[in-house]
Amino acid sequence: MGRTPCCDDKDLKKGPWDPEEDEILINYINKHGHGSWRSLPKLAGLRRCGKSCRLRWTNYLRPDIKRGPFTVDEEKLVIQLHAILGNRWAAIASQLPGRTDNEIKNLWNTHLKKRLLRMGLNPLTHEPLTACGPTASSPGARHMAQWESARLEAEARLSKGSLFFNPPPPLVKPNPDYFLRLWNSQVGESFRNLNGEAKTDCRSPISQASSSRKCGSASGVTVDVNPNIAISSSSTPESNQIEDPIDASFSSCWNESEDSSDTALQLLLDFPINNDMSFLEDDATNATPPLC
DNA sequence: AAGATGCACAACCGCATTGTG
DNA sequence: ACACAATGCGGTTGTGCATCT
């Protein structure tokens, strides 16, 4: 079949945008909205392809873009979300108001990835690196595999029409971004609000599954996502008891699906995001990779 | 002072997904 | 159901600036 390339016109300008172009684009969108991106450049009188216009608008010109350096809290949140969502920058960006996927991607590639590496953590898995090769058999690696399999299972369930959360209205497709919804749900909120809890004994959720519903976030990190991001790191493992909000919302949400003991949610609660993010504050000056 | 190198960020490219007739 | 267009997304590249030698 093939498709007409959208930006192959030799007449089209490439490279950095100049202020005049920005102004034209802003004025046009403020007046008419962007409508069809493909036809926008012609209508607005820009010698750019629609894709370029869209990118310029969404990544730079949009009025709600928050410019300036990322705060430590935002960086923590990016790391946490990356541990859950992987390189799904758009999904991560949706949790950081005013930040774009491109910006977060750049932040990750230029700062956070290196920082994790300096910390001796694998930026892909968020697991400790060792000089002795992959730690496939480590609990952490197992955990990752379990997490992934649970994620796939959950997505499969969703695709079969199993509705984990409030059933969407008819004709609305279930959002496949299961974990993002989980994160944003009451359950996720409870997860984020677990403060300084359950630092102990969060072993493999599968092995624990049938009896481990009290094992909460291993991170001890609280994250309030929107609109005012506020994360507090706590290292006070005062309580190992996760209170019932989790259980309640968990069980009420999960009732509809079978084998609730072995759940993606449990994995989320148990997810071994490398807990101590204090390195973000002092920028890994005291970071030493773990010896093996 | 000048060239080399590294870094940060904006923009591009191509594939995947979604929408539409 | 199919073909095609439009859009979204993630990986990669290009460019300008800062720092180093």
pLDDT in tens, A142-168: 555 555 555 544 444 444 444 333 443
Q: What is the reported pLDDT for A84?
A: 83
Closest protein CA to C1' of nucleotide C5, residue = A3
Report residue A289's pLDDT band, with 50, 70 and 90 as the boundaries. very low
Evaluate if the CB of A124 falls below 7 Å from strand C. Answer: no
**Residue A178, pLDDT score:** 59
Between A11 and A3, the higher pLDDT residue:
A11
Residue A55 CA and nucleotide B19 C1' are separated, in Å, by 20
Answer for A89: CB within 7 Å of strand C.
yes
pLDDT, tens only, A93-123: 888 888 888 888 888 888 888 888 777 777 7
* pLDDT reported for residue A81: 86
Instruction: Indicate if the pLDDT at residue A266 is higher than 50.
Output: no
In whole angstroms, B10 C1' to A22 CA is 14
Tell me the backbone φ, ψ of residue A144, rounded to 5 degrees: -60, -45
Least confident of A153-162, A234-243, A270-279: A234-243
Evaluate if the CB of A102 falls below 7 Å from strand B: yes
pTM of the predicted protein model: 0.62
The reported pLDDT for the residue numbered A213 is 34
Output the pLDDT for position A160.
43
Check residue A258 and give its pLDDT: 36
A71 touches strand B (CB under 7 A): no
Sign for the pseudo-dihedral over CA of A70, A72, A73, A78: positive
Class of residue A182 by CB neighbours under 10 A (exposed 0-12, middle 13-18, buried 19+): buried
- For the stretch A168-175, contacts whose Cβ atoms lie closer than 8 Å and that sit 24 or more positions apart, written own/partner, are none
pLDDT at A231: 38
Say how far A41 CA is from B12 C1', in Å: 17
Task: Measure CA A182 to chain center.
Answer: 11
Of A191, A189, A232, residue with least CA distance to A215:
A191
The pair of three-digit structure tokens given for residue A168, joined into one six-digit string: 């969407």
Spatial contact of A240 and A267, defined as CB atoms under 8 Å apart: no
Distance A52 CA to C15 C1' (A): 17
Weakest-pLDDT range from A180-184, A229-233, A279-283? A229-233
Is the CB of A190 within 7 Å of strand B?
A: no
User: Residues A50-86: pLDDT tens digits?
Assistant: 888 988 898 888 888 888 888 888 888 888 888 888 8
The first and second tokens of residue A252, run together, are: 């009420």
| Strand C–CB A109 distance below 7 A | yes
- Is the per-residue pLDDT at A288 higher than 70? no
Q: Look at residue A225 and tell me whether its pLDDT is greater than 70.
A: no
pLDDT, position A101: 87
Averaged confidence pLDDT in chain A: 60
* pLDDT band with cut points at 50, 70 and 90 for residue A204: very low
C1' of C5 to CA of A256 (Å): 40
Q: What is the C-alpha separation between A205 and A215, in angstroms, rounded?
A: 9
Cis peptide bond prior to A227, omega within 30° of 0: yes
